[in-house]
């Protein structure tokens, strides 16, 4: 046991065996989809030899268990509701997804829907706050949308739209 009551990670019983590495890879993929790079790193940390890992991953890809394009598409679908293009692209890179696998998934994100998501998130933020001025509105919405990976231009346009909506509704006058 490790300090804090955590168990030590299991180690490879047959470090040179691609069959053992394959079985471990399939077990891990059954629990949670992973990128090829993340799975390779995990198998290496468990003590499997580099050649065994390479062959196991090739076999998992050939059998249809491991697919970086599908992993990227799935991650984009899950994350796109509350994040912008840039943050999702950064997460894909951090998970070891190559551009050839990430680009088609990112291209599937329609720019119009990203603008709608930013506007929806901005409205949700303003539902909890009551800005007194357009400047205060921008100070509330702008940084939060930027941190979620929306481009500066989209953040600017979203703040203008929200400011116009609040101005038209007379919300700034009521505060």
Structure tokens, 117: 């998501």
Query: How far apart, in whole angstroms, are the C-alpha atoms of residue 86 and residue 124?
Result: 21
- The whole-angstrom distance between residue 38's C-alpha and the CA centroid of its chain comes to 14
Mean pLDDT of the chain: 88
Tell whether the model's pLDDT for residue 128 goes beyond 90. Answer: no
Residue identified by tokens 């940084």 is 143
List the domain boundaries for the chain: 11-66, 69-107, 111-174
The predicted-structure confidence for 43-89, as pLDDT tens digits, reads as follows: 999 999 999 999 999 999 999 999 999 999 999 998 888 888 889 99
| Residues 6 or more apart whose Cβ sits within 8 Å of residue 117 | 80, 81, 82, 84
Q: Is the pLDDT of residue 2 over 70?
A: no
pLDDT in tens, 25-48: 999 999 999 999 999 999 999 999
Instruction: Indicate whether this model's pTM tops 0.75.
Output: no
Q: ∠148-154-159 over CA atoms, to 5°?
A: 90
């Amino acid at each position: 046991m490790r300090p804090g009551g955590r168990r030590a990670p299991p180690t490879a019983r047959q470090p040179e065996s691609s069959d053992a590495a394959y079985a471990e890879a399939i077990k891990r993929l059954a629990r949670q989809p992973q990128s090829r790079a993340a799975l390779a790193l995990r198998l290496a940390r468990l003590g499997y030899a580099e050649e065994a890992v390479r062959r196991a991953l090739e076999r998992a890809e050939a059998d249809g268990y491991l697919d970086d394009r599908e992993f990227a598409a799935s991650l984009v679908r899950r994350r796109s509701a509350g994040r912008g293009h840039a943050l999702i692209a950064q997460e894909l890179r951090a998970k070891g997804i190559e551009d050839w696998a990430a680009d088609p998934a990112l291209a599937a994100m329609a720019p119009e829907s990203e603008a709608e998501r930013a506007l929806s998130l901005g409205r949700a933020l303003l539902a909890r706050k009551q800005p007194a001025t357009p400047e205060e509105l921008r100070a509330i919405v702008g940084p939060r949308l930027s941190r979620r990976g929306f481009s500066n231009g989209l953040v600017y346009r979203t703040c203008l739209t929200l400011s116009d909506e609040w101005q038209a509704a007379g919300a700034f006058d009521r505060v």
